[in-house]
């Protein structure tokens, strides 16, 4: 019978922790690597403001169109505008607005959107991430990945309202037009496919 003494047991426990840490690192890097194609090509990058701009609307233009579909949805300035200008809360939200739903005399918060202008599609900024090339034990390379949402696109706002059943797809496409991207077809249920994120 093989008996494991204390030093051997400690070494096995240590190696198990190392393997678990490697597994967590690999999963995280694989998630990062999956987002890299979204910013790799500058002609289609979600971080390229010119590509994502599409048909730009001011918040007033967007709300005029939206209220022709559902007059109970309103837009108000984000509370961050009332914060002292030198605070991070103000800096992060100075160009944001809040969409709410009026039901009788009650206002129900929906979500935050852009308060100045809205690009057609979400615009992201990027961050650097290290991902394995082929062999997990080999060298890793640095790639750009989507990081934070900079500007929420008006199509994303419409999709969220569709999912909340506050607008219908027919009305949205009649007023705003149909989206020309695969993501629009998938998220509205008009087509099948797999989103790249």
Report CA 30 to chain centroid distance, whole Å.
18
Average pLDDT, the chain: 88
SS3 125: strand
Instruction: Report if pTM > 0.75.
Output: yes
Mean pLDDT of 90-119: 94
How much of the chain, in percent, has pLDDT values that exceed 70?
95
Residue 122 near residue 158 (C-beta atoms within 8 A): no
Query: Which range is most confident: 56-65, 85-94, 133-142?
Result: 56-65
pLDDT tier for residue 59 given thresholds of 50, 70 and 90: very high
Contacts of 2 (CB under 8 A, 6+ apart): none
Query: Which range is most confident: 6-10, 48-52, 168-172?
Result: 168-172
Q: How far apart are CA 76 and CA 165, in angstroms?
A: 21
Separation in Å, CA 146 to CA 61, 119, 189: 28, 17, 25
Burial, 150: exposed, middle or buried (Cβ in 10 Å; 0-12, 13-18, 19+)? middle
> Per this entry, what is the length of the chain?
197
Separation in Å, CA 26 to CA 61, 84, 171: 45, 42, 45
Which residue is it, tokens 């709300």? 63
pLDDT of residue 4: 64
Query: Which range is most confident: 12-21, 139-148, 161-170?
Result: 161-170
Q: How far apart are CA 72 and CA 96, in angstroms?
A: 20
């Amino acid at each position: 019978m093989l008996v494991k003494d204390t030093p051997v047991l400690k070494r096995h426990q240590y190696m198990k922790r190392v393997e678990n840490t490697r597994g967590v690192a690999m999963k995280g890097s694989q998630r990062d690597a999956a987002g890299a194609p979204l910013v790799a090509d500058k002609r289609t990058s979600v971080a390229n403001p010119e590509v994502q701009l599409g048909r730009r609307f001011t918040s007033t233009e967007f709300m005029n169109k939206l209220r022709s579909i559902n007059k109970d949805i309103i837009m108000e300035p984000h509370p961050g505008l009332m914060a002292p200008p030198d605070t991070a809360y103000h800096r992060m939200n100075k160009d944001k607005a809040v969409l709410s739903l009026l039901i009788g005399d009650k206002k129900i918060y929906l979500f935050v959107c852009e308060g100045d202008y809205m690009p057609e599609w979400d615009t992201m900024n990027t961050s650097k991430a290290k991902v394995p090339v082929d062999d997990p034990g080999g060298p890793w390379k640095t790639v750009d990945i989507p990081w934070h949402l900079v500007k929420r696109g008006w199509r994303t706002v419409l999709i969220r309202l569709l999912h909340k059943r506050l607008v219908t797809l027919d009305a949205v496409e009649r007023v705003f037009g149909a989206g020309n991207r695969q993501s629009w077809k998938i998220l509205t249920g008009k087509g099948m496919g797999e989103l790249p994120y």
